[in-house]
Amino acid sequence: MTHTYRTDPHYLHFHDRAAWLESWSACELSRLDEETGVYLPIYRCHVVEVGEIQKGGEWDEEGLEIVAPEILPGYHVNILLENELVLPAALEQYLLPKPDQPHMIWSCEQGA
Partner 1 sequence: MGAFKPIWTPVDSGESIIEAFGGLDLDYINERYRIYDPALGRLVEKPWTDIVNNRSLPAGRTYWDQNGVLQTAAADAPVIEYDPVTGVKLGNRIWGEYRNIVPQSEDFSDTSWIKGDASIATVPGTGLSGQATVQKLVENPSSNRHRLAINIITVGTQSTFRLIVKPDGRELIQITFSGNITNNHININLSTKTVTAASATIQAVVRTLPVGVLEVLITTVNSSGASGEFSVDMITNPLAGRGLGAYTGNGSSGLLLYLAQGSPNSIAPPYAKTTGAPVIIPAETQIIDGQNFLDLWNGAEGSIYAHAKTDAPDPVAAYIFEIGSTDGNNRRFFLFDDPATALLGSVSGGQVLITSMTGQPVGVPSKLTYSFVRSGNAKASRDGVLSPQFSGASPSIESRMVIGGRTSNPTQYLNGHIRRLIILRKALPASLLQRITSL
Residue 84 makes contact with partner 1 by CB under 8 A: no
In Å, how far are 53, 60, 66, 74, 110 from 104, measured between CA atoms? Answer: 10, 26, 24, 16, 11
Amino acid at 78: N
Choose between 36 and 93: whose C-beta lies nearer to partner 1: 36
Choose between 13 and 44: whose C-beta lies nearer to partner 1: 44
Among 1, 89, 93, 97, binds partner 1 (CB under 8 A): 1
Residue 62 makes contact with partner 1 by CB under 8 A: yes
Nearest-approach distance from CB 61 to partner 1, in angstroms: 4
Q: What strands, in cross-sheet order, belong to the sheet with 95-96?
A: 45-55, 70-81, 10-14, 95-96
Residue 13 makes contact with partner 1 by CB under 8 A: no
